[in-house]
Chains A and B, each alone.
Chain A
Amino acid sequence: MTVLSSAETAEQPPRKKLCLSASRQLQSKSYALSQLNPMASPLDQPGYSFLMFTLPFIGFFSMKYFLGQVLNIQGYRVIAISVIFAVIIVQLIIYSYVKQAFNEPVNTVDDTDGREDDEKEQQQQLQQQQQQQQINCSCDNESNGSPGVATLCNLGNTCFLNSVLYTLRFAPSFLHNLHHLITELQEITGRSTNGLKGKCSSLGRSTSSASSKMWNFQSSLNVSMNDLKIIQVTERLHQVFEALHNCELKDSSDPYQPEVFLQSLRDVNPIFEGNQQHDAHELLVCLLDNIREGCKLVMQHSAQVNCFVAPAPVIQPVAPNKLKKLSGQVRKSLKIASSSKTRPVNGNLPPNINIPSDKVVLSENDNFADDKQMYVVNGTTNAVQSDENESIPSGSSSSSSSSTSMFDDFQGVSLLRTTCLECEFVTERKESFCDICVPINGLTNGDISPENDFNPYDYDSVNKLYHSAIVTEEYLQDTDKYWCEQCCRYNEAKRSVGYESLPRLLTLHLKRFCTNYRAVVSKVNEHMPTPLTLECFCEECLSLNSKQQTRAHSYQLYAIIMHLGATIASGHYVAYVKAQDNLDEYINCPRDRRKTGSLSATPNGTLPANYKKSSISNGLFRFLKISSKTSSGAPNSQSSDSIDDSGKVSSLGRWCRSLECCGVRILDNSEGGDTMWLECDDETVRTMSVAQLTQILESKSSKNSALTPYLLFYVKVNHSE
């Protein structure tokens, strides 16, 4: 495996940022070696490299001399035999490297068939190596203004991936919701998470083994293969954030390689196959799709569970001895041990159903409790329930509430209105959407140009610009008339797009490409101002506005993904995210099902083994220290204040566990009261002030090296009365 990874590195074009899985200190050397010989081992030592440089040449020339002088053989055969001899020497050196490296017998170095057998061991070793590197590595990034935020490695053209990951990581409440979604999904798939998770979070390339392990469970579940793949992507996404969290805990500045995640993404969507450049927007849509599928699954599940649940609320944590007595009447998500097959249970369960009581566990129990037990959900009566699944309201059960709202965060409802101009009968069609496409061309030179002189720095006119681009109106006329059912004829009609509701996290997709008459797609580099605050344009707000009242909400920019490059085909993505602490949302989280507030409830194995040694509480204390530090520096930050109040050890229990799992580290070097922004460009993360950001946003860059906003991310702010 290690051999393979180096080889891949060597094949990467020099433009890409290198990402050797091996140590940093040896990076340059092993790279040089790998150029010479693709089979070089990263476990290099100076002696070996010396040998590598010298021995083959000595062998070559000595053989040549031997054949020419001693045996009197002339011509190309001399050269050929000498080369072969040199190659044999090289092979021998490599052989000895590998042998030393693995301390175990290896048949032949380039025997690919043998690789799979040893894969596991190799992975474990690699894992250990990586961990060692992570621990050993000093924070040499500190010098270039890094805010101590974990970084993501560019795996070759993966800036599209990194920019989206950075953005999602800093999206308000996203991590928290994701964590709970994952927890619920794992409950549904009945998968023990311990072993797998611990492995994946730090392991570079365990895809094949991990997934093969995963598929074993599949047969006994009522979750389809495709669903499982989708869940896997979402889980891997979570693991990326988990790993980043761990990196931050350790102050490791090593960029994390989201390779496992990328791999599972490719499993689900083939367009991300190959090391091509991709559209960040496509990736975002794909990720949100996966999350939606996950949410749907949780909802379906909870709907099924609800069928078992009597109207009365279900018991909270039950002691094991009570449980046995209950088992006869248990209705809610019975979990049967993995050995038994999924039991079909009817919706109208007879009260005396015979289930082996020793194998029944209530779902209320900590699902991390036993990793050997496989949970199977008794939701096999889909024939009855599948129809109801869709109609179950999101808040129907406490367990489903979190994940269903997860996707709602991104989903709004648009309203397509068609009005016949003759009879003025209105036909409405509602559609849900995840992002809004904002056209750029024709907008700046369209309506707004001369009459009401447009000022890109004026808040109102910028908002008007966005408003007119988003809430559109067009006429169906000429040959494109509208068939009016009321008039029984073709009439002109007005078709308008409005928004019944806008999501909490609003994504604007600037349409930075246009197709010209030759069907060539080109990038639109025109400047489009980016407002830090966007007025809400949902139906409610617009009607309030027309009545001269203040709107019910507005939108605050929390992230931007910028595209750098003159053409649409290639370029670079950089994410700018607002560094805000969302700690308050973790307090008293209703979805956290931890029984006690003790820190020992941290799930086993979610943290790497070495991390366990340095007590977990220490890690959390660090969080608190940092946060109190920030809050003292930022007195107007409301959330920090609340942390100060609750920042005592006694109240620790009120913190949601997800914070310890994948939360974002609070910045420890933010100065003043200003909100800080982070410029996330693959391995480098830089802090910047709002002023610096606006400077970047307002600069009308030249046509050739255009750094243009591409995806804008806004979070809804409710104006309380």
Chain B
Amino acid sequence: MSTLHKNCLAQPGRKKVQISFVIRDEEERRHRAGINSLQLDSKQGILYSAGRDGIIRQWDVRDNVEASYLRSLEHHTDWVNDIVLCCGGHYLISASSDTTVKLWGLRKENTCLSTLRTHKDYVRALAYARDKEVVASAGLDKTIFMWDVNMLTTLTTTNNTVTTASLPGSKNSIYSLAMNNSGTVLISGSTEKVLRVWDTRTSDCMMKLIGHTDNVKALVVNRDGTQCLSGSSDGTIKLWSLGQQQCIQTLRIHKEGVWALAATENFSHVVSGGRDKKIYMTDLKNPNKVQLICNESAPVVKMVTTPDMSAIWVATSESSINCWVSMFRKQLNRLRKSDETADFDDVPTEPYNQEPFRTLKGAAAIRKYHVLNDKRTILTQDTEKNVAVYDVLKASKLQDLGEVDFDEEIKKRHRIIYIPNWFSVDLKTGMLTIHLGQDENDCFAAWVSAKEAGINVTDDNLRVNYGNRMLRSLLENWLNRIQTDHGTSDGAQSTELNAQTKLDSQCCRIPKHTPLMISEVGGRCLYRMLVSQAGDENDVSILNETIPSWVMNVIVEKSIPKALKISFYLVPLSNTCIRPVKNGTLRPSRDRLVANDFIQVQKIAEYIHEKLSENDGSGPYNKTSDCISNHLQGNTPEKNFELSCNDQILSPTMDLRTLKHFIWKSSADLTIYFKAKH
């Protein structure tokens, strides 16, 4: 069974496409959130870690050298769930929740060589057959694909068609995969609670191993593919004989789900870790011999061991990676002779290690956020309870507040201003990801006066649209590029362009390293690049294809959606001498007016002033006495009139939507009262 896979960009289909960016430092040397997978190149002494922040990092972990960060592999836009090293450490294959599988070159390039978009849902697990250089990937879309690594490495941008074998038939989401070195047997674990064993030659499911009562999250198969170990969320580890097609041993060591397994080549010992944060080493020949290796601080997600099993690198749902030693480490062994030989009736409680042997420190992940009323400042709190302030328009952190009360800080920074939402925030990677256009109208809803936006201009009436500005500055390089390409550089337009750029640069200053993602709403990533790369030859053509039409319309065709209008009634207070009139007669009804929602109260005062000045009876108001006329001279309009709503006197700088949202508090039409000041 084989399907033809075209390794190209999926065209945005009917699904809505959004544009996102991540607010981060240029170089993120430490993991931000949990770590989902590890690979160890013991020859080179390099540890590869796949983080939930979407970044694969390389660490120098050679003996006798201080463990240190080497570099990052960045191209995934969501959790990286699994990685495998292949071709003796020349290539790395990664599977991610952005539904892609990526191939990375490690020797020279350290970049992403190709992206495989065959999966339709999160790719959860990978398996590698060293002898055949075959990698299998599987995920929540219930399918398994087999990839020939040698073929993947020859892919170029022009020759990008891969033939892949798929193993269909699984009815449930696959959470774990294992393949023996010769690639003859492939085992998958899923929420079906059974292990399916596949024959990779015929792509048939050979058998089902029934016994677990919950999801199977960890699998190890031995070299010749005769035995396998499975760790399940039901808390058990089972040793299966594939020949007998049955479970030959069940280990109940963990109190909660078993998420990670590592075994010696000959299946003499197994190391297991899981949700209960404990790592045990069990002698499979003598299952009573259980050694507690360590107590981790968070649920154990993945473990890799050195070939001699003396050290175990442990990834947890926290961002630090610890290395723990086992009793196979000879020099420490003699100190604990008694432990090693002892038989345990009960699971031991005293761990072999108190402190990790080595640690690769991680950074804190953002867990909580609050978008302030100005709709550009975001307060965040991370796992270490530190509070920070971010500015969306500048795509950067403004301030670290340290360990302060999050809710207090929100209260402190609360302002009475109402601006509609124009973006949404995502914290899944532990960093702030801002999505634009999850709802198309949303993105361009925020019209703000230039003053409010922090632009230094003389024109008071200048308004900016946050969404428009943001998109323009995110795609600035690309815009410049296509405008020069089209040769539309006649005088008038270029001056306009300059003015726009000036405005953009004043309003939004996006760091060039900011990653920019174009993805389907709630799912697949279509394209990722850095803001600085947007003008590159290669990227321009891809961007032309992928940029959604709603962005095109606005920033290229410049048809910005109109600002929202608010209708309101303007009513003179009864104790004043102003009466509404129509065509010269007194009118009891109120005056219904419509204005842009960002109009400020002083504009309304000006309007009243203007209308009252038309003292010929044709205006909408009739002054019954001369008292007003005196006021109309000299003073500025906002000093002449006092406007109120719901018995609150309005500040002249308040805009209509703020007034409606905070003072009127109703969806009905606003009613504003005015009277002349005395």
Bound: A475/B192 CA distance, A: 10
Q: Contact check, A477 vs B140: say whether CB atoms are below 8 A apart.
A: yes
Which residue on chain B has the smallest CB distance to residue A487?
B428
- Is B191 in contact with chain A by the CB < 8 A criterion? yes
Q: Contact check, A475 vs B257: say whether CB atoms are below 8 A apart.
A: no
- Of the listed stretches A192-200, A489-497, A629-637, chain B binds A489-497
Given A477-B140, A487-B428, A489-B428: A421 in contact with B175 (beta carbons within 8 A)? yes
Bound: A478/B99 CA distance, A: 12
**Of listed A477, A488, A489, A494, residue having the most chain B CB within 10 A:** A488
Q: Contact check, A490 vs B522: say whether CB atoms are below 8 A apart.
A: yes
Would you give the 0/1 interface string for B215-230, flagging 1 where the beta carbon is closer than 8 Å to chain A? Answer: 1000000000000000
Bound: A457/B427 CA distance, A: 55
Given A421-B215, A424-B233, A477-B140: A492 in contact with B191 (beta carbons within 8 A)? yes
Q: Contact check, B191 vs A424: say whether CB atoms are below 8 A apart.
A: no
Which residue on chain B has the smallest CB distance to residue A494?
B191
Bound: A476/B42 CA distance, A: 40
Would you give the 0/1 interface string for B184-197, flagging 1 where the beta carbon is closer than 8 Å to chain A? Answer: 00000001000000
Bound: A611/B215 CA distance, A: 69
Bound: A424/B258 CA distance, A: 11
Distance between B656 CB and nearest chain A CB, rounded to angstroms: 35
- Is B451 in contact with chain A by the CB < 8 A criterion? no
Given A424-B256, A424-B275: A475 in contact with B121 (beta carbons within 8 A)? no
Q: Contact check, B367 vs A492: say whether CB atoms are below 8 A apart.
A: no
Distance between B445 CB and nearest chain A CB, rounded to angstroms: 24
Would you give the 0/1 interface string for B81-112, flagging 1 where the beta carbon is closer than 8 Å to chain A? Answer: 00000000000000001000000000000000
- Is A326 in contact with chain B by the CB < 8 A criterion? no
B215 / chain A contacts, CB cutoff of 8 Å: 421, 494
Distance between A106 CB and nearest chain B CB, rounded to angstroms: 62
B256 / chain A contacts, CB cutoff of 8 Å: 424
Given A421-B175, A424-B256: A475 in contact with B275 (beta carbons within 8 A)? no
- Is A423 in contact with chain B by the CB < 8 A criterion? yes
B326 / chain A contacts, CB cutoff of 8 Å: none
Which residue on chain A has the smallest CB distance to residue B275?
A424
Q: Contact check, B428 vs A475: say whether CB atoms are below 8 A apart.
A: no
Bound: A489/B140 CA distance, A: 15
B interface: dominant SS: loop
Interface residues of A in 409-436 (CB under 8 A from B): 421, 423-424
Distance between A392 CB and nearest chain B CB, rounded to angstroms: 35
- Is B299 in contact with chain A by the CB < 8 A criterion? yes
Would you give the 0/1 interface string for A394-417, flagging 1 where the beta carbon is closer than 8 Å to chain B? Answer: 000000000000000000000000
Interface residues of B in 30-84 (CB under 8 A from A): 79
Q: Contact check, B173 vs A477: say whether CB atoms are below 8 A apart.
A: yes
- Is B7 in contact with chain A by the CB < 8 A criterion? no
Interface residues of A in 621-648 (CB under 8 A from B): none
A475 / chain B contacts, CB cutoff of 8 Å: 172-173, 191
Which residue on chain A has the smallest CB distance to residue B141?
A478
Q: Contact check, A424 vs B257: say whether CB atoms are below 8 A apart.
A: yes
A interface: dominant SS: loop
Q: Contact check, B173 vs A423: say whether CB atoms are below 8 A apart.
A: no
Q: Contact check, A492 vs B173: say whether CB atoms are below 8 A apart.
A: yes
A490 / chain B contacts, CB cutoff of 8 Å: 522
Would you give the 0/1 interface string for A531-552, flagging 1 where the beta carbon is closer than 8 Å to chain B? Answer: 0000000000000000000000
Which residue on chain A has the smallest CB distance to residue B256?
A424
- Is B640 in contact with chain A by the CB < 8 A criterion? no
Bound: A48/B172 CA distance, A: 81
A479 / chain B contacts, CB cutoff of 8 Å: 522
- Is B317 in contact with chain A by the CB < 8 A criterion? yes
Which residue on chain B has the smallest CB distance to residue A425?
B275
Distance between A660 CB and nearest chain B CB, rounded to angstroms: 54
Q: Contact check, A488 vs B173: say whether CB atoms are below 8 A apart.
A: no
Distance between A548 CB and nearest chain B CB, rounded to angstroms: 15
Distance between A603 CB and nearest chain B CB, rounded to angstroms: 58
Bound: A492/B191 CA distance, A: 10
User: Which of B121, B233, B299, B428 lies in contact with A488, CB distance below 8 A?
Assistant: B428
Would you give the 0/1 interface string for B316-348, flagging 1 where the beta carbon is closer than 8 Å to chain A? Answer: 010000000000000000000000000000000
B367 / chain A contacts, CB cutoff of 8 Å: 488
Bound: A565/B576 CA distance, A: 78
Interface residues of A in 301-321 (CB under 8 A from B): none
Bound: A570/B172 CA distance, A: 41
B426 / chain A contacts, CB cutoff of 8 Å: 488-489
Would you give the 0/1 interface string for A456-478, flagging 1 where the beta carbon is closer than 8 Å to chain B? Answer: 00000000000000000001011
Q: Contact check, A423 vs B299: say whether CB atoms are below 8 A apart.
A: yes
Q: Contact check, A421 vs B121: say whether CB atoms are below 8 A apart.
A: no
Given A475-B172, A475-B173, A477-B173: A421 in contact with B191 (beta carbons within 8 A)? yes
A489 / chain B contacts, CB cutoff of 8 Å: 79, 97, 426-428
Distance between B517 CB and nearest chain A CB, rounded to angstroms: 15
A477 / chain B contacts, CB cutoff of 8 Å: 121, 140, 173
**Of listed A421, A478, A487, residue having the most chain B CB within 10 A:** A421
Bound: A488/B79 CA distance, A: 12
B121 / chain A contacts, CB cutoff of 8 Å: 477-478
Bound: A423/B367 CA distance, A: 15
Which residue on chain A has the smallest CB distance to residue B259?
A424
B275 / chain A contacts, CB cutoff of 8 Å: 424
Bound: A640/B172 CA distance, A: 56
Bound: A494/B522 CA distance, A: 20
Distance between B34 CB and nearest chain A CB, rounded to angstroms: 9
B173 / chain A contacts, CB cutoff of 8 Å: 421, 475, 477, 492
Which residue on chain A has the smallest CB distance to residue B36?
A422
B427 / chain A contacts, CB cutoff of 8 Å: 488-489
Distance between A263 CB and nearest chain B CB, rounded to angstroms: 44
B140 / chain A contacts, CB cutoff of 8 Å: 477-478, 492
Q: Contact check, B317 vs A423: say whether CB atoms are below 8 A apart.
A: yes
Interface residues of B in 273-287 (CB under 8 A from A): 275
Bound: A478/B426 CA distance, A: 19
Bound: A479/B191 CA distance, A: 17
B522 / chain A contacts, CB cutoff of 8 Å: 479, 490
Bound: A479/B120 CA distance, A: 11
Distance between B52 CB and nearest chain A CB, rounded to angstroms: 8
B97 / chain A contacts, CB cutoff of 8 Å: 489
Bound: A475/B256 CA distance, A: 20
A494 / chain B contacts, CB cutoff of 8 Å: 191, 215
A421 / chain B contacts, CB cutoff of 8 Å: 173, 175, 191, 215, 233
Which residue on chain A has the smallest CB distance to residue B523?
A479
B191 / chain A contacts, CB cutoff of 8 Å: 421, 475, 492, 494
Distance between B667 CB and nearest chain A CB, rounded to angstroms: 28
Distance between B435 CB and nearest chain A CB, rounded to angstroms: 13
Interface residues of B in 461-514 (CB under 8 A from A): none
Bound: A492/B215 CA distance, A: 12
Which residue on chain B has the smallest CB distance to residue A546?
B213
Bound: A371/B535 CA distance, A: 95
Distance between A494 CB and nearest chain B CB, rounded to angstroms: 7
Bound: A494/B257 CA distance, A: 14
Distance between B322 CB and nearest chain A CB, rounded to angstroms: 19
Bound: A424/B317 CA distance, A: 12
B428 / chain A contacts, CB cutoff of 8 Å: 487-489
A488 / chain B contacts, CB cutoff of 8 Å: 367, 426-428
Bound: A423/B36 CA distance, A: 11
Interface residues of B in 132-178 (CB under 8 A from A): 140, 172-173, 175
Bound: A477/B275 CA distance, A: 22
- CB-defined A-B contacts under 8 Å, sample of 20: A421-B173, A421-B175, A421-B191, A421-B215, A421-B233, A423-B299, A424-B299, A475-B172, A475-B173, A475-B191, A477-B173, A478-B121, A478-B140, A488-B426, A489-B427, A489-B428, A490-B522, A492-B173, A492-B191, A494-B191
Task: Tell me the B residues contacting A by CB distance below 8 Å.
Answer: 79, 97, 121, 140, 172-173, 175, 191, 215, 233, 256-257, 275, 299, 317, 367, 426-428, 522
**The 5 residue pairs across chains A and B that have the minimum distance between CB atoms:** A489-B428, A488-B427, A488-B428, A424-B257, A424-B275
Given A479-B522, A488-B428, A489-B97, 4 new contacts (CB under 8 A):
A423-B317, A424-B275, A424-B299, A490-B522
